[in-house]
Amino acid sequence: MSSTQNLKQRLEAVNEYERTPIPKNKLKGWKSFIGTYAGEHTAGTEFVLGPLFVAHGASAGDLVSGLIVGNILAVLSWAFLTGKVAVKTRTTLYYQLEKIAGNRFTLVYNLVNAALFCFLAGSMIAVSATAVGIPFNLPMPSLTDVYPNSVGWVVTVFGIGAITTVVAMFGFNVISKFANIAAPWMIMIFIAAAVGVLPRLGINSFSDFWPVAETTIWNGVPLEGQSKFTFWHIMFFAWFCNMGMHIGMADMSLLRYAKKWTYGFSSATGVFLGHFIAWMASGILYSLFLIESKGSLVFAPGPIAYEAAGIAGAVCVVIAGWTTANPTLYRAGLAIQSINPKWKTWKVTLFVGLVTTIAACFPALVMQLLEFVALYGLILVPLGAVIFLDVFVLRKMGLASNYAELTNSHFNPAVGITWAVSLVFCLGLNIYGGIEIFFLGLPGWFVAVIVYLIASKVIQKKAVIKAADYTELNY
Amino acid sequence: MKSLLKIISFIALAVTLVPSFLVFKGIITPELSKSLMLIGTIVWFVSASFWMNTSDENEEAEN
């Protein structure tokens, strides 16, 4: 048998249970989730988001307290919302939404979702490229760059994109295994890089740390042109930066493999290592860079990590970007594949990888990451509310779950109305109320809950649902 | 064999982390620390790949 045929057979044998519940013998233990979450959230984004708190003038006290509270809320959301729904349904977000909202609605939703995932994965490929480009003296992007600044940048991005795509084509297992290995090492590098540069910030003993943190690293003064971040900004950002994944239910794709819903708590490894220690570590590195470069606009995590931790630091940036881009590409592949289940997973992932790599060529994707992450969560969160209500609340109110499947409908208007009203409401709050995008997720979720319950009541009242069908479709 | 590999892996993690604290204390230079971190990195990835995911596969097989 030729190696080409063998490779094709292996790729086609990848079964990710996109349209069937995960069988019991395929469920994974808690170690798999701890590794995946730690790997995914100690990631390339951390090299970008940590410095943004410095740029936005967060004070040291606000940063520490805001991150602790926000991260706890995020973990609770993963366990009590995503974990409970994922373990009960054992399906992907996309398939579950199709049963609730109909295939025409999910077609639009999946395209939007896949595009968002592609942009997120693309920004991570770009972060990796800043490290890979070091030995080639690649000109690094700056905060104001929108377009690629050299041919070398495009070639580097395409090289990393190709490797990321090939790995993602082999499915969740390969990603999970690599994340397991990389995660403990990655957090060591983050800590080591930050600790090693402390003397250059004037910190020569542990007692020096807090006074310098308050006056030099997170001094509470935003950089020119940046808004001021308070405790509330930090808390809500820590809670909502992965809103699409927990409250928005995108992580049903991962947690459906969990034996128990409590495995949702394993996300604590990700948020407290990645969104606490790694954000603080990368903030320290960026603060030193600002001081030593006298306020340079260059924004390149690779060279900053290389300067602090040598080759190991640069490798960390590459792998951190990669372990985020890989599961994100995998999710994007699932989103596209649910449009036409006959498409092979690996072919879809190949296509998604190409789109992502092209997007990664544009540095603006990295520079606008803060706003993009907030927007990403906001767009997905109303559908998370819909799924949660449909699985746990609707039947208690005498209404039917999985309405589209039950009625053989291609479109459930209740879901469409919920999504549209929630997003228009949030847009109105942003434009007319002046409320920043980081705070809109919470009111958006509550509006979605109210609208979906009312819309379902009105629409299902008009429809005739056979009692036998209703019983058959109960979980 | 697996236990030995685990010990080597954890030593490699320590070699990745500890030198930065020695730099912090002024005991070694940043250059030496960077070299040790690279050695720790290589040893970690080589040794951990032999045992980390095998325990996961065993766990799946037990189900």
Q: What is the DSSP string of A382-411?
A: HHHHHHHHHHHTGGGGT--SSHHHHTT-S-
Share above pLDDT 70 across residues of chain B, in percent, rounded to a whole number? 84
The answer to whether residue B63 is domain-embedded is: no
The predicted structure's pLDDT at residue A463? 64
Question: What is d(CA A462, CA B10) in angstroms, rounded to the nearest whole number?
Answer: 64
Q: Cα(A386)–Cα(A451) distance, rounded to whole angstroms?
A: 10
Chain B residue numbers touching A176 (CB-CB < 8 A) = 56
| Cα A299 to Cα A318: distance, rounded to the nearest angstrom | 15
Contacts of A319 in chain B (CB under 8 A): none
Neighbours of A411 (CB within 10 A): 16
Domain assignment of residue B22, yes or no: yes
**Is B19 a member of any domain?**
yes
Neighbours of B55 (CB within 10 A): 14
pLDDT score at A7: 53
Distance in angstroms (rounded) separating the CA atoms of residues A203 and A156: 37
Q: What is the pLDDT of residue A474?
A: 47
Of residues A27, A29, A188, nearest to B17 (C-beta): A188
Nearest-CB residue to A185 (from B16, B26, B59): B16
Whether residue B21 has pLDDT greater than 60: yes
Task: Retrieve residue A42's tokens.
Answer: 């100690």
ipTM of the complex: 0.91
pLDDT value for A340: 78
pTM summary value = 0.84
Instruction: State the pLDDT at residue A467.
Output: 45
Cα B22 from Cα A212, distance rounded (Å) = 20
Q: What is the pLDDT of residue B41?
A: 96
Domains of chain A listed by start with CATH number: 24-374 (1.10.4160.10)
Tell me how far apart the terminal alpha carbons of chain A are, to the nearest angstrom.
Answer: 45
Domain span at residue B13? Answer: 2-55
Q: Chain B residue closest to A259 (CA)?
A: B63
Q: Hey, are the CB atoms on B60 and A26 less than 8 Å from each other?
A: yes
Position B61 in a domain = no
DSSP bridge pairs for A236:
none
Q: How many domains does chain B have?
A: 1
Assigned domain for B62 exists:
no
Neighboring chain A residues of B20 at a CB cutoff of 8 Å: 191-196, 309
User: Do the Cβ atoms of A309 and B34 come closer than 8 Å?
Assistant: yes
Q: Which residues of A touch B (CB under 8 A)?
A: 24-29, 31-32, 35, 176-177, 180-181, 184-185, 188-189, 191-196, 198-199, 203-204, 309-313, 315
Distance CA A301, CA A124 (A): 11
Give yes or no for a contact between A53 and A279, defined as CB atoms under 8 angstroms apart.
Answer: yes
Q: Is residue B60 part of a domain?
A: no
Which pLDDT value is given to residue A371? 81
In chain B, residues with a C-beta closer than 8 Å to the C-beta of A209 are none
Nearest CB to B30; choose among A176, A185, A196 = A196
Q: pLDDT band for position B61 (50/70/90)?
A: very low
In angstroms, rounded to a whole number, what is the distance separating the alpha carbons of residues A169 and A353? 9
Contact between residue A459 and residue A414 where contact means Cβ atoms under 8 Å apart: yes
Token pair of A353 as six digits: 């990888």
Nearest alpha-carbon partner for A245 in A257, A256, A253: A253
Residue in A28, A134, A181 to test binding to B, most B beta-carbons within 10 Å: A181
Q: Which residues of chain B are within 8 Å of residue A25 when distances are taken between CB atoms? A: 60, 63
Does any domain span residue B38? yes
| Residues linked to residue A59 through DSSP beta bridges, in sequence order | A219
- Give, rounded to a whole angstrom, the gap between the first and last alpha carbons of chain B: 25
- Interatomic CA distance for residues A362 and A385, integer angstroms: 33
pLDDT value of residue A34: 84
Q: Is residue B9 part of a domain?
A: yes
Rounded Cα distance between A271 and A37, Å, is: 8
Tens-digit pLDDT profile for chain A (475 aa)?
Answer: 444 455 555 555 555 666 777 777 778 888 878 877 877 787 778 888 898 899 889 999 999 999 999 999 999 999 999 999 999 999 888 889 999 999 899 888 888 888 888 888 898 888 888 888 888 888 888 777 888 888 999 999 999 999 888 888 876 666 667 777 888 898 899 999 999 999 999 999 989 999 999 999 999 998 877 789 999 999 999 999 989 889 999 889 889 999 999 999 999 988 998 899 999 999 999 999 988 887 777 778 888 899 899 999 999 998 888 877 887 888 788 778 877 778 888 888 899 999 999 999 998 887 778 788 888 889 989 999 999 999 999 999 999 999 999 999 999 999 999 999 999 999 999 999 999 988 999 999 999 999 999 999 999 876 655 544 554 444 4
